[in-house]
Amino acid sequence: MIRTSIRRAVVPGIAVIALALTGCGASNDSDGSDGDTGSGASDLSGSLAGGGSSAQESAQTAWRAGFQSANSGVTITYDAVGSGTGRENFISKAFSFAGSDAYLSDDEGQLTAAKERCGGEDAIEVPAYVSAIAIIFNLPGVDSINLDAKTVAMIFDGKISTWNDPAIAALNDGVDLPDTKISPVHRSDDSGTTDNFTDYLSKAGDGAWSYDPDGVWPIKGGEAAEGTSGMVAAVKGGEGTIGYADESQAGGLGLVSVKVGEEFNAPSADGAAKALAVSKPVEGRSDVDMAMDVDRTTTESGAYPVLLASYLIACQHYDDANEADLVKGFLSYIVSDEGQQASAEQAGSAPLDATLAEKAQGIVGAIAAK
């Protein structure tokens, strides 16, 4: 399919599938994949375009490398245009699959639009990438601080404006906090990371955050940056800046440990996995939709509730058999044990737990042509 990162260029009906399959496709193996995730020859060939979540970008690099090494005739492209544009491009058929840090919203008509794109069938949504969202900051002489959700919410809402504010000082006994002005940075694009971050502020902020969760930053003004890399660069380029980004890309910036119960936990893959493990599925979803309602107020020891569970979005069936085989093969690799280990090593993500992985493998393993 045509690879694009420009919203206005996405027009239904003009995307071109440039896929080819020699032979009749690979045989299924025990985890529901096409049998092309390991070593050896593969019958798959052609090109496949997807995109969306910039948080997934590092993991997608590892997944593409692993899959293409076992399938030398296949070219996978992933355009990290942000979750919102990724969903739009999937719905318009410019992408065969999307990566999204927020599940499809029924309130915004996304579920209905995705169902129409998929020929009247419910779209597939499976978690593929679980990672902590690090609250990052740049304050010379300070590498880490403790904050509770209410204080974080007040900072990003502009109600706390200096680093030595009494609310911050009370949580950081013994830390020499300067009177530097706080400069919050938010994402400028429609971002699943923003959706997850504002969900945390809304649910855990003890009333200090008065906005609904949203992929678009709800407050006018302030410094904005596009994509995960843009966010990290903006925080790094300022002084007194604070933002939020996938933990794997936080680099050497200061990190906030958030209060969970009576303890403060730093962002980590294990902490994110613990928080997701105590979360529940979103109610009313189809059997092929694994959207999760993350428990942002958990008191589970070691949990880190500022996390994103990033999804793969695809169709159950495709008109083109070649496209179906490639989507099935690549997505099956991503949710396989091998694929999850590859992203853990490359991007520091938390592998799916066994129960979630088994269900995801079964769902994507059933992708087929109409």
Quote the pLDDT of residue 106: 85
Same domain, 238 and 283: no
Quote the pLDDT of residue 108: 81
Please name every residue paired with 281 in a beta bridge, in sequence order, or none if there are none: 292
Same domain, 99 and 43: yes
Question: Mean pLDDT, the chain, as a whole number?
Answer: 89
Quote the pLDDT of residue 95: 98
Same domain, 150 and 269: yes
CA distance 160 to 73: 55
CA distance 43 to 14: 28
pLDDT, tens digit, 9 for 90 and up, residues 112-140:
999 999 999 999 999 999 999 999 999 99
* Number of domains, the chain: 2
Same domain, 172 and 283: no
CA distance 177 to 169: 7
Same domain, 101 and 189: no
Quote the pLDDT of residue 43: 84
For 113, residues 6+ apart whose C-beta sits below 8 A from its C-beta are: 91
Which mean pLDDT values do the consecutive 10-residue runs of the chain (370 residues) have?
A: 35 33 36 43 87 95 97 96 96 98 90 98 97 97 97 98 98 97 96 95 97 95 95 97 94 96 96 92 96 96 96 98 98 98 95 92 98
Both tokens assigned to 141: 């002489």
For 283, residues 6+ apart whose C-beta sits below 8 A from its C-beta are: 293
Same domain, 104 and 229: no
Same domain, 205 and 285: no
CA distance 223 to 183: 8
Same domain, 316 and 266: no
Quote the pLDDT of residue 107: 81
Task: Say which CATH number the domain at 231 has.
Answer: 3.40.190.10
For 122, residues 6+ apart whose C-beta sits below 8 A from its C-beta are: 111, 115, 286, 288, 289, 316
CA distance 99 to 131: 14
The whole domain housing 17 covers 7-131+278-292+308-369
Quote the pLDDT of residue 42: 66
Same domain, 183 and 123: no
